A and B are shown apart, each in its own frame.
Chain A
Amino acid sequence: MSARQIIYHELVQRHQDAVFGYACRMLRNRADAEDVTQEALLQMWRRWGSFNPLKTRPWIMRVTHNLCVDVIRRRDRASGREVPAEPAVLEAVPDAGESRDPARMADQSMLRERIEAAIQTLPPTLRSVFVLRELQDLKCAQIADVLGMPESTVKVYLFRARNHLQVELRDDACRA
Chain B
Amino acid sequence: MHAVPEGQLPEDTVARIMAAAYGEASPADRLRVWRATRRDPALRRLLREHRLIAKAVHDLPAPRAPGGIADRIRTEVGGPGVRGAHTLPLPRRGLLWGGTAMAATCAILLATRTLPPAPEPAPEYSRAEIEEARRQIEAAFAMVTRGMGKAGTAVHHEILAPTVARPLRDGTTILHDLFGKEQ
- Interface residues of chain A, those whose CB is within 8 Å of chain B, are 1, 5-14, 16-21, 24, 34, 37-38, 41-42, 45, 53-54, 90-95, 111-112, 115-116, 119, 134-135, 159, 162-163, 165-166, 169-170, 173-174, 176
Contacts and interface: CB of A to CB of B under 8 A. Distances in A.
Given A13-B83, A20-B64, A41-B69, A8 B90 contact: no
B interface majority secondary structure = helix
Nearest to A112: B60
Nearest to B68: A34
A174 B50 CA distance: 11
Contacts of A14: 89-90
Interface stretch (B14-22, B153-161, B171-179): B14-22
Given A17-B65, A38-B69, A45-B76, 13 more contacts: A1-B80, A6-B79, A6-B86, A10-B89, A10-B93, A12-B73, A14-B89, A14-B90, A94-B61, A95-B59, A112-B61, A135-B60, A166-B50
A95 to B, nearest CB: 6
Contact of B65 (A7, A8, A16): A16
B56 A111 contact: yes
Contacts of B85: 9, 13
A27 B66 CA distance: 16
Contacts of A134: 22, 54, 57-58
Interface string B69-91: 11011001111101101100111
Interface of B: 11, 14-15, 18, 22, 46, 48-50, 52-54, 56-66, 68-70, 72-73, 76-80, 82-83, 85-86, 89-91, 93
Contacts of A19: 65
Given A10-B86, A10-B93, A12-B70, A37 B65 contact: yes
B19 to A, nearest CB: 9
Nearest to B89: A14
Nearest to B64: A17
Contact of B82 (A13, A24, A94, A116): A13
Nearest to B86: A10
B90 A176 contact: no
Contacts of B76: 42, 45
Contacts of B79: 1, 5-6, 8-9
B90 A10 contact: yes
Contact of B73 (A42, A93, A174): A42
Contacts of B65: 16-17, 19-20, 34, 37
Kindly name the residue among B63, B70, B82 whose own CB sees the greatest number of chain A CB atoms within 10 A.
Answer: B63
A163 B14 contact: yes
A115 B53 contact: yes
Contacts of B61: 92-95, 112
